[in-house]
Amino acid sequence: EVQLAESGGGLVHAGGSLRLSCVVSGLDFDDYTIGWFRQSPGKEREGVLCVDDGRPYYADFAKGRFTMFSDKAKNTAYLQMNNLKPEDTAIYYCATDRESDTVIAGILTGAYYHMDYWGKGTLVTVSS
């Protein structure tokens, strides 16, 4: 059974940082592209960031503030978020798909609904 489990969310002041983790099990971590998505209250889910074959794909709001890296030994992907803003308040999800192009499209176009596997999310709240 494929499982993705996010952690690391919490309350942070504007300008602060958080690092989210996504532990993946049930699939070969090396063969899948992990993407980060988020959903703010009252808004559609949107893509944040993924890295495929060493190349990052960012949503515009994430450029210059968010980065992603992985620890293959731990089957874990991380989302490092710096200079957080109140508008970054959202539930953050990691997700993956058999096709890396699907993940990239999900990040760049918001077509998240095609993704095969999702975590349950972790809440990030940024206070002003």
The larger pLDDT score, comparing residue 56 to residue 113, is at 56
pLDDT above 90 for 87: yes
Per-residue tokens: 90? 């959202």
pLDDT in tens, 26-70: 999 989 999 999 999 999 999 999 999 999 999 999 999 999 999
Between CA 62 and CA 112, with CA 6 as vertex, the angle to 5 degrees is: 55
pLDDT in tens, 118-127: 999 999 999 9
Confidence of residue 114 (pLDDT cuts 50, 70, 90): confident
Spell out the residues 6+ positions from residue 122 whose beta carbon is closer than 8 angstroms to its own: 6, 7, 8, 9, 20, 91, 92
pLDDT, average across residues 68-93: 97
pLDDT at position 124 is: 98
pLDDT, average across residues 84-96: 98
Nearest to 126 by CA among 93, 98, 99, 92: 92
pLDDT in tens, 2-30: 999 999 999 999 999 999 999 999 999 98
